[in-house]
Structure 1
Amino acid sequence: MARAVIAREDFRVHDVGLRRQAMVTDPRLLVYAHERFEQLGSQGIEHIIAREGQEFDPVKARLLVRLVVAVFDTCLDSLADWTEGTEVRPVVEIFDEVAGATRDLVT
């Protein structure tokens, strides 16, 4: 599900770096981002429970949402660390690599 969402987005390397810089320098933007994360996280939990069934543990659903966010954030770190003159890897490719590393850690 997360991979499908990421594949639809257009991530420009320069924009990722600027947005990350804005987040750490503007406390109001950081508060807004956190509030938005909570809203989207709640929606993600609802979607997971709807997909998996009402018996699915909401704690596990919340953990899954946060894990996917951490994987995505790691992908954005890779983009933000990009240097001029090197090839820009597609975010979906980076996501697959980070998700695989995450799987290796928890299995």
Structure 2
Amino acid sequence: MTKSATGREATSRRINRCALRLADEHGLDGFTMEDLAEAAGVSRRTLFNYFPGKVDAVLGHWKGLDAADVETFRAGGPHHDLMLDLRELVIPILGEKVDDRTRIAQARRVLRGNPRLLGAVHDRYEAVCAEVIDHIVAREGDGFPRADAQIAVAVLAGLLDVSLDAFLNDTSGRQFFDHFDHSLAAAARLLGS
């Protein structure tokens, strides 16, 4: 990674965190892009080079699926178990978004308090799900029902949500991925796989 890419990512994260804080404190409509630029310490022009509007600034950039991970997944790996391999494929998208209980709680408050943000998150979620479903069908072969791929993705999404709740309510200090792996193992046990 180049130094400029690292600097660009740091600026993007700073803007995103400031937008999230402002939305939490004032609501999405309670601050302007000028307010955000000032809070993030960037010019208005720089701000618009990163995000076209407040919704995108609050949600931040979402990483796409890694091409190498997709190739490994479509080839049947890395574990040769669909749900474990889905974990490996999808978890990197979350990246640092699950590193901080306070930030996750703040993001949930902001999202639940604003229908426009929920709609934007839903649109992003649908796009990622459609892509992952296509990869599952390609991996499993033409005879694999698309509905089964949709079920696998829905189960994974449900496990992520349960794991986030457990992580937010955890007082023992366990990390998100510990909760997610526990949820994945519990689902396998409960579903008999």
Question: Normalised by the shorter chain, which TM-score bucket?
Answer: 0.7 to 0.9
Cα deviation for residue 6 of structure 1 reads 2.5
Q: Does 1:95 align with 2:95?
A: no
Cα deviation for residue 88 of structure 1 reads 2.3
List, as ranges, runs of 4+ consecutive aligned residues in structure 1 with deviation greater than 6 Å: none
Supply the AA of the counterpart residue of 2:140. E
Q: 1:9 aligns with which of 95, 99, 118?
A: 95
Q: Which runs of 5+ in 2 are unaligned?
A: 1-84
**Counterpart in 2 of 1:21?**
109
Relative to structure 1, the CA distance from residue 22 to residue 2 in structure 2 (aligned partners, 3 Å threshold; closer, same or farther) is farther
Preserved CA contact (<8 Å) 2:167 2:175: no
**Counterpart in 2 of 1:106?**
191
Preserved CA contact (<8 Å) 1:3 1:92: no
Q: Once the two structures are aligned, what percentage of the paired residues are identical?
A: 29
Aligned length: 104
Q: Which runs of 5+ in 1 are unaligned?
A: none
Mark the structure with the bigger radius of gyration.
2
Q: 2:167 aligns with which of 66, 70, 79?
A: 79
Cα deviation for residue 102 of structure 1 reads 1.1
Supply the AA of the counterpart residue of 2:190. L
Preserved CA contact (<8 Å) 1:75 1:95: yes
The structure, 1 or 2, with the larger RCO (C-alpha pairs under 8 Å, 6+ apart) is 1
Higher mean C-alpha deviation, range 89-98 or range 54-63 = 89-98
Q: 1:47 aligns with which of 124, 135, 149?
A: 135
- RMSD (Å) for aligned C-alpha atoms: 1.7
Report the secondary structure of 1:54's partner residue. coil
- So what's the TM-score if we normalise by structure 1? 0.86
Relative to structure 1, the CA distance from residue 15 to residue 2 in structure 2 (aligned partners, 3 Å threshold; closer, same or farther) is farther
Tell me the distance in 2 between the aligned counterparts of 1:37 and 1:92.
Answer: 20
